[in-house]
Amino acid sequence: MLTASELRAMRVSESLDTCGNACHMSYVVLAEMRSGGSLICDLLFHRKAGVPIEYLNPNYRKDLCSRLKIPNDVCYLDEYVRAIQNLRTSSNGYFGIHCLFRDLSEMGSPEVAVNFLSRFDRVVILTRKGRLAQAISVMRAQQTGRWESGLAASKFGLERFDTLAISAQVYHALQRNRLVHALLAKVDRPKLFLDYESILDSLESVWSDVQRFVELEPVPASDLGSAMRRQADSQSEEFACRYLDFILGRHSVNE
Amino acid sequence: MLRKLRTAQDSIRDEASASQDTPANSTVLTYIIVAQARTGSTMLADRLRLAGLGTPYEYLHPQMMNLLWHRLGPKSARIDLQEYMDIVRLNRTTTDGVFGIKCLYTQLLRQLGKPTAIREFILSFDRILLLNRRNKLAQAISAVRAEQTGRWTSQLASTDGAQATYDPLAVSERIHRFIAQDRELAAMKLAEARTVLRFTYEELTNSPNQIWANIERFLGANPGSLSVATAVLQRQRDTLSKNWEQQYLAFLKDGHNMHSDGT
């Protein structure tokens, strides 16, 4: 099992480069944290529709900017995306990026974010209805470093119930959601809105919609060999019950 | 007879007016009520004032500070907090020598900034009453409604007829803020340094007589002095608050009742 930093090192390495292919279809999977964005991107990768990873994640960006010899600064965002497109467009002409709502909200200005989104042919938007489950998932991933099911927990990553962390995640997710929806209203590109709960209900149906949207011949998800699995478990449910008890004042005094 | 409803600004002007001043009494006991918004602190302060145990208004409210400083201060534009507090103490200590102040945590943050400065300020009082609320959701909803309408107490009128609108983002922000404030206050470890009386909104509303008795003992007041004082404030929680609570819980679990923009 890899740790998150080992996975990042692999993903930014030359091993995933597909240099010099012309781009015929570019897309961005714009996702909230813990909304199934990594799964959809993993399926797109296995479907050979580009290498859609989190190129805007500050750590990925730092590593890639260093590799590409581009200043790691929002002023050079266009140049950076062009360079990534040149580096990671697959032989069938697909180029994709996995972008988190957080990345978009940290671009400095709404104009920069709108311009960024407008450069793609397709925009896939992924959100999650269950805000509490989402917040708990973010908290657990932050504590353990297990952002994906295939990752090993970081050495010191102990899980603990933390009301402040959960309340912060609920608040920030809503704040970003509102901001991103305001930005999307200004982006004149075809958009596909999806949610995590639909993926849980029927992955094949959602995956089929995604493929159709980016003009791929449909191939069932089950044929693609993605190793990603759902991470929520009884611990998540217990944390959810404890948080609800807490905000309703039904907790023990010491909690 | 019902009193005419006023705005929050009217209320602060009244509280800062000369009619509330006391002669220069020497101070024998100082206390501070440290509370979050929507914890019953106004009701508590009202009762303490009616019982003659100081006049614990929100002296760190920015509007209150401006009004008192310009009426009683040295006419300089910039308010010096230490000098301001001396002036307030001089003019608001009751005849039996009690000086009280009520501070919302946000006011302490605004005036003092760092936790160490806030702690030092709080510990400068002889007695510390810490008031919070266990039900963070009800507290947050109450805060959002008050902010939207300007009806911070049952006696106040809405600002320009403003209506409350359910907003899960605003409720979430308040819940997060109140939890963070609880944690910041707990980290100050006030009880280790001074005599502190902690209680909650729920205790205040469910067992008021017990709490009044505790506060009387804590402040060295005559037994029964608080329980006989008749406060005029009423609880504001109503069916709309309960409806918002249900909406928010459903929203947290399943994302129900979202706005059209997905929030």
Q: Name every chain A residue with its beta carbon within 8 A of the beta carbon of B241.
A: none
Q: How far is CA B173 from CA A1, A60, A142, A182, in A?
A: 37, 30, 20, 19
| Domain enclosing residue B177, as ranges | 8-254
Buried b (16+ CB within 10 A) or exposed e, A199-221: beeebeebbbbbbebbebeeeeb
Cβ(B82)–Cβ(B95) under 8 Å?
A: no
Q: Name every chain A residue with its beta carbon within 8 A of the beta carbon of B202.
A: 249
Whether the predicted pLDDT of B100 surpasses 80: yes
Closest CA in chain A for residue B253? A130
pLDDT at B10: 84
Cβ(A59)–Cβ(A8) under 8 Å?
A: yes
Mean pLDDT of chain B: 88
**B99 CA: distance to closest CA in chain A (Å):** 31
CB contact under 8 A, B253 and A132: yes
Buried b (16+ CB within 10 A) or exposed e, A75-85: eebeebbebbb
The size of chain A, in residues, is 255
Q: What's the one-letter identity of residue A111?
A: E
Cβ(A122)–Cβ(A194) under 8 Å?
A: no
Share of chain B above pLDDT 70, in %: 87
CB contact under 8 A, B251 and A163: no
pLDDT at B238: 81
pLDDT at A20: 85
How far from each other are the two terminal CA atoms of chain B, in whole angstroms? 44
- Residue B1 falls inside a structural domain: no
Q: Name every chain B residue with its beta carbon within 8 A of the beta carbon of A170.
A: 172, 175-176, 252
Cβ(A158)–Cβ(A146) under 8 Å?
A: no
| Residues of chain A where predicted confidence (pLDDT) is lower than 70 | 155-157, 231-232, 252-255
pLDDT band at B259, cuts 50/70/90? very low
CATH of A4-218+226-247, one of 3.40.1170.10, 3.90.550.10, 3.90.1150.10, 3.40.50.300: 3.40.50.300
Closest CA in chain A for residue B255? A129
Q: Name every chain B residue with its beta carbon within 8 A of the beta carbon of A197.
A: 255
Select the residue from B130, B133, B175 to test the A interface by mutation, using most A Cβ atoms within 10 A. Answer: B175
**A253 CA: distance to closest CA in chain B (Å):** 9
DSSP A101: H
CB contact under 8 A, B169 and A171: yes
pLDDT at A157: 64
B143 touches chain A (CB under 8 A): no
- Residue B259 falls inside a structural domain: no
Whether the predicted pLDDT of B257 surpasses 50: no
CB contact under 8 A, A130 and B135: no
Q: Name every chain B residue with its beta carbon within 8 A of the beta carbon of A251.
A: 134
Cβ(A90)–Cβ(B217) under 8 Å?
A: no
And the tokens for A179? 């901001």
pLDDT at B158: 65
CB contact under 8 A, A167 and B175: yes
CB contact under 8 A, A164 and B137: no
CA angle B210–B216–B219, rounded 5-degree value: 140
B250 touches chain A (CB under 8 A): no
Q: Name every chain A residue with its beta carbon within 8 A of the beta carbon of B255.
A: 128-131, 195, 197
CB contact under 8 A, A249 and B134: yes
Task: Tell me the residues of A at the B interface, defined by beta carbons under 8 Å apart.
Answer: 127-133, 163-164, 167-168, 170-171, 174-175, 177-178, 181-182, 195, 197, 240, 244, 246-249, 251
Residue B25: give its domain's CATH number. Answer: 3.40.50.300
**B59 CA: distance to closest CA in chain A (Å):** 29
Whether the predicted pLDDT of B261 surpasses 90: no
Average pLDDT of the segment spanning B19-42:
92
ipTM of the complex: 0.87
Which secondary-structure segment (H or E) carries A95? strand A94-100
Please tell me the distance from the alpha carbon of residue A181 to that of residue A168, in angstroms, as a whole number: 20
Rounded to the nearest 10°, the torsion over CA A143, A145, A147, A153 is: -110
Cβ(B19)–Cβ(B7) under 8 Å?
A: no
B167 touches chain A (CB under 8 A): no
Please tell me the distance from the alpha carbon of residue B232 to that of residue A116, in angstroms, as a whole number: 57
Average pLDDT of the segment spanning B25-33:
93
Which of B135, B253, B262 is the closest to A177 by Cβ?
A: B262
Within chain B, how many helices (H) and strands (E) appear?
Answer: 12, 4
B228 touches chain A (CB under 8 A): no
Q: Name every chain A residue with its beta carbon within 8 A of the beta carbon of B250.
A: none
Q: Which residues contact B149 (CB under 8 A, 6 or more apart)?
A: B158, B159, B162, B163, B164
Closest CA in chain B for residue A127? B262
Average pLDDT of the segment spanning B34-52:
92
- Residue B3 falls inside a structural domain: no
CB contact under 8 A, A171 and B175: yes
And the tokens for B195? 């005599």
Select the residue from B136, B141, B172 to test the A interface by mutation, using most A Cβ atoms within 10 A. Answer: B172
**B17 CA: distance to closest CA in chain A (Å):** 38
What backbone phi and psi angles, to 5 degrees, belong to A127?
Answer: -125, 180
Query: Number of folded domains in chain B?
Result: 1
And the tokens for A195? 């949610």
Please tell me the distance from the alpha carbon of residue A211 to that of residue A193, in angstroms, as a whole number: 13
